[in-house]
Amino acid sequence: MRKESDIQKISELILKQMRQEITEEEKLFLANWLKQSNKNQELYVRIQNENYILEQYRLKQTIDTDKAWKHVTSFPRRRVSRYFGYAATILLLLGTYFIYRIESRAEIKPKDVVAMKPIQPGVGKATLIVSNREEIQLHKNCQLELTDNSGTKYRNDSATLYYQTGTPENTTAQTDNIHTLVIGRGGEYSVMLADGTKVHLNSDSKLRYPVTFTRSERRVYLEGEAYFEVSRDERHPFIVEGKDFAVQVLGTSFNISNYKDDDVSRVVLLEGSVQVKKANKNYKLKPDEALEISGDDISIKKTNARNAISWKNDKFYFSNERLEVVMMKLARWYDVNLFYTNQTIKDYHFTGFIPKYADITKAFRVLELTTDVKFEVKDRTVTIMRI
C-alpha cells in the first residue's frame, strides 16, 4: 500500500470508529497503526477532543500552504513527511466531520444563510439524443426498453443506461449510429456501453458514442467530467476525445475533467495505465498520478485518485482547492448561479469534504466555518461575500 493511501485509510478508519461503523478487521488495522509509534498514540488521543480539532482545523485553513511548504523544505525529509502526512490529513478530515456533528446538535450557530427556500442537490436525470436526433428524457425512476433504428437494444433502469453487449452481424449498418447522453446542471447519470465499459457522468457533461463498436478502436467524445471503467480489449483500444487532447487505454479506471469553462483539464488514473496525447506528444500515467492541461502547459503530479472520484459517491473532496473551483463544482451540481462581491474571494482555499446529497446550505455552513466568507441565496443566485 502506498503511504498516501495508508494515510487516507487511517483517517477514514478513525472517522468510522467515531461513527461506530468500523468492522473487526478495520479495528485490527487501526490497532496495529497505534502500536507503530508513540506519536500515533498521542495523535489518536488528541483528536478525540472536538474543540482541539476544530481550532486546529480553522488554524490550518488560514495557512498559506505554499509559504508553509517553502518554510519547512529545509527540515529533514522524514519530519516534513510526518508533519504533512498523518497529522495534516487526519486533522483535515476529522475537522470537517466535527463541524457536521456539532452543527447537527446546534451547539454552534453558523453565519446567517439567507435563502428563499432550500436548494436541493442534483438527481439522476439526463437527455438521450439517438441517431435520428430524437430526444428521450431519462430519469432515475424511469424504466424503459428501447430499440435503435439499427436494431440495437438498450434499456434504462435506476439512473443507468444499458446497451446490448456483443457485435451484431450487420456491422455496416452500425458504423454511423451515434448516441449522445447529455447531463444538464443538477444531474448525473451512468451508461454501460456495448463493450461493457461503464461511464459515470457528472453534472453539465456530454458523452457521444457509437451504439456498437465495430471499428479497430473504441472511440467516444467527452465534454465535462466522467469516470470510466473500461472493459479490457487489447485488440481494440479505448479512446476518449477531449476538447484538445485524447486519452487511450486498453482496460483501466480513470477520471477525466474536461469542462469548456475550466482553465484546467485533468486526467487522473486509478488503476492500469493510460496514455494522453496532446499536440503530437504522448504522456503516460501511473496509478495515483494526475495529468493537468492548462493551455499549452502540461504537468504530471502525484495525487490520491480516490479523492478525485469522490464526486461520484456521496461527497466532494477538496485538497487546498481555490474557492472559485469549489463553488463552480457546487454550482453545476445544485444548478445555481454565482456572484462574487469581491474577486479576491475566488483565491481563498479550502480543504475538506462536503456532503453531496444534502441541501446547499450544508455546504455553505462548512465553508463559512472554515473560510472568511458568507453566503446569501435569492432564487437560484448565490452571492459570496467576504467578512
Give the pLDDT of residue 335.
Answer: 95
Q: What is the DSSP string of 145-174?
A: EEE-TTS-EEEEETTEEEE--S--S-HHHH
pLDDT of residue 63: 43
Residue type, 215: R
pLDDT at 25: 85
Nearest to 195 by CA among 233, 225, 226: 233
Which stretches in the chain have pLDDT values below 50?
1-4, 62-85, 106-110, 115-116, 167-174
Between CA 346 and CA 352 the distance in angstroms is 17
Can you give the pLDDT at residue 138? 94
What pLDDT score does 280 carry? 85
How remote is the C-alpha of 122 from its chain's centroid? 14
Residues 89-133 have pLDDT tens digits of 555 555 555 555 555 554 444 455 554 467 889 999 999 998 878
pLDDT digits (tens, 9 = 90+) for 345-354: 999 988 888 8
Cell numbers at residue 106, please?
446546534
| Predicted pLDDT at 214 | 85
| pLDDT score recorded for residue 80 | 37
